[in-house]
Amino acid sequence: MKTLFTFTAFLFLVSVGHSQSFIKRYINSIINDTSDISQPQLLIYPTLAYAPETSWEIGFSSLYVYYAKRDTTNRLSEINGFTFFTLENQYGIWFDHAIYGDKENWFFLGRLRFQSFPLFYHGIGPDSPADYLALVDGNQILVKERVLRKVRKNLYFGLEVDFQRFNRVEFIPNSEQVDFDLPIGYEGSTNLGLGAGLVYDNRHNVLNVRNGFFSELGLIRSGQAFSDFSFTSVISDTRIFRPIGTRNVLAAQLLGQFNSGNVPFNQMALLGGESIMRGYYFGRFRDKNQIASQVEMRFLPLKLGFTDRIGAAVFAGAGTVFPEFSQLSLDKFVWSAGGGLRFLLFPKKDIYTRLDFAVTREGNGFYLFIGEAF
């Protein structure tokens, strides 16, 4: 499980030739949030992490938030960036974004991954072993983008694109494991999926929703004309947020991913990660289909008296993977639970950074990110 640190409390600005007074003003503008609420804000800070499969990892994270045309009646848009390299000569560049146009007429939701980074392969199915079968090395390009047009208030419809290329793939077996069958796509693959998405979204701040509803239904087809494998994916993601009093929020999510056809192992439904089923390694469980849910109670902020910038959260989740609906079983569900602290990073935009600790039946994990898990 990856352990993550930061060199500074929150910030670091790299810019040769800038004066110390400029850096002080920059840090003060973030910590004290001295900017106008309509002004875009950029945060850059270093990260340091350690994981058994990568050794030490050094990187930089960034967050850019803004209102279209600096109009605060528009929804808050956010772009997250992360770049890193490890002592094992691995590297990666990540970008995630949720961008709203003026009057929310357009909505761009997506992610990009370009990385040479190993992953643990535990096998396929809900009964896969806790100890990994192989370490999978390779180069990955992932582009998942939704270009959505508002058709009525809070309702969007548009194109979904999912391009994934996984090459130079090498399965390095765990010497403590017996022989296992290599999965579909073990030699690598290139797949282009095209489809349509329908989204209902009335959130105003995607990084910290206090009252809102989000639901996405997407259908993506990867055909033989543009892909090495032919398969169809249906994704359903529903989230609800309700205020409890003036400070607290009750949030819940139900996620489903359902695939049919010849699905390569790297594009199967993957359970775990920093967003849902925290505490499990991302991809610890994988199969054609997945159902997962979580509920979280957020105390934003806590009533401490000496500060109004510290919050907390407790959460719990359950999920499973399965090959066919006829094999979906309640006794195959796994659980995850935990809690964490929050710090109000941008008071005027109501954005927190979170430190979560999650516990599962197989271990635990720490997560440090800006914005809530969902």
Q: What does the DSSP 8-state code read for residue 325?
A: G
Band of pLDDT at residue 88, cut at 50, 70 and 90: confident
- Beta carbons within 8 Å of 141's beta carbon, 6+ residues apart: 113, 114, 163, 164, 165
- The H or E element that residue 234 is part of is strand 231-244
Q: Report yes or no: 318 and 334 within 8 Å, Cβ to Cβ.
A: yes
CA atoms of 80 and 4, how far apart (whole Å) = 17
> Which architecture, in CATH terms, is 3-370?
Beta Barrel (2.40)
Q: Report yes or no: 155 and 128 within 8 Å, Cβ to Cβ.
A: no
The full set of domain ranges for the chain reads 3-370
CA atoms of 212 and 205, how far apart (whole Å) = 9
Position 337 pLDDT exceeds 70: yes
Instruction: Tell me the backbone φ, ψ of residue 306, rounded to 5 degrees.
Output: -85, -15
Q: Report yes or no: 83 and 92 within 8 Å, Cβ to Cβ.
A: yes
Query: What pLDDT, on the 0 to 100 scale, is given for residue 301?
Result: 97
Mean pLDDT of the chain: 91
**What pLDDT, in 10s, does the model give residues 173-230?**
998 767 899 999 999 999 999 999 999 999 999 999 999 999 999 999 999 899 999 9
Q: Read off the tokens for 362.
A: 């197989």
**What pLDDT, in 10s, does the model give residues 120-172?**
999 999 999 999 999 999 999 999 999 999 999 999 999 999 999 999 999 99
Band of pLDDT at residue 11, cut at 50, 70 and 90: very low
What is the share, in percent, of the chain residues with pLDDT greater than 90? 83
Query: What pLDDT, on the 0 to 100 scale, is given for residue 228?
Result: 97
- Beta carbons within 8 Å of 356's beta carbon, 6+ residues apart: 278, 313, 315, 338, 339, 340, 366, 367, 368, 373
Q: What does the DSSP 8-state code read for residue 308?
A: S
Contacts made by residues 236-245, CB under 8 angstroms, sequence distance 24+ = 238/214, 239/209, 239/213, 239/214, 239/215, 239/374, 240/212, 240/213, 240/214, 241/203, 241/209, 241/210, 241/211, 241/212, 241/213, 242/211, 243/210, 243/211, 244/297
The greatest distance separating any two alpha carbons of the chain, rounded to the nearest whole angstrom, comes to: 65
pTM: 0.90
